[in-house]
Amino acid sequence: MRRRRILHGAAVTAAAALLPASVRAVASPAAATDYPDAQWQPASASNWTPSRGSSPRRVDLVVIHVAQQAFTETVGIFRNAAKKVSAHYVVRSGDGFVAQCVREDGIAWHAGNWEYNARSIGIEHEGWIDEPGYFTPVMYERSALLTAGICERYGLPKDRAHIIGHHEVPGSDHTDPGDSWDWDRYIRLVNAA
């Protein structure tokens, strides 16, 4: 029995070594994420900025986005070095699956305003602002758990002053998360988490 486990482990290790690096990065263990229920799906290093200095970066906002894309395409955009955009997290509509694309100590390029990028965590949600069917109960619940965890890690109040929409970022020409996003429900779920 022990020999079988050793052989199985060796086969798994050998198979993993044959995978291209881009696939191995997606299959990284959950321990590589800041949020335990997220899977690491890294953005291109060309699409975010490492934090400077030895002290942790100051975070005082969570910015809520709607991607205007499907989940897989959103993650793919963040991986494309030519796109110059990223977010820390992406939440899938159908099952609430959470991908982490930028570590929280990094500065994701999501808000369109450097000051806001530097002081916030960005969460993209699969879907389109004019298609409220994408805003499923499970997506709201899983996103709210994620946001509650971020608020707890950074000591942020769980309110609309600290959890904002992309459209509320100064200088933004975006309208997401849009009129169909249920802010009352979302903040209630964040506080219940």
Backbone region of residue 53 per phi and psi (left: phi > 0; alpha: psi in -120 to 50; beta: other values): left
What gap in Å lies between CA 188 and CA 59, rounded to an integer?
22
What gap in Å lies between CA 166 and CA 111, rounded to an integer?
6
Active site residue 152: no
List the alpha helices (DSSP H) in 36-87.
Answer: 71-79
From 73, 115, 124, 152, active-site residue: 124
**Measured at the alpha carbon of residue 30, what is the angle toward residues 4 and 149, in degrees to the nearest 5?**
150
Residues in CB range of 190: below 8 A, 6 or more apart: 144, 147, 148, 151, 158, 163
Yes or no: say if 64 and 189 are a contact pair by the CB < 8 Å rule.
no
What gap in Å lies between CA 115 and CA 118, rounded to an integer?
5
Beta bridge partners of 63: 122, 164
What gap in Å lies between CA 16 and CA 131, rounded to an integer?
39
Residues annotated catalytic, as ranges: 124
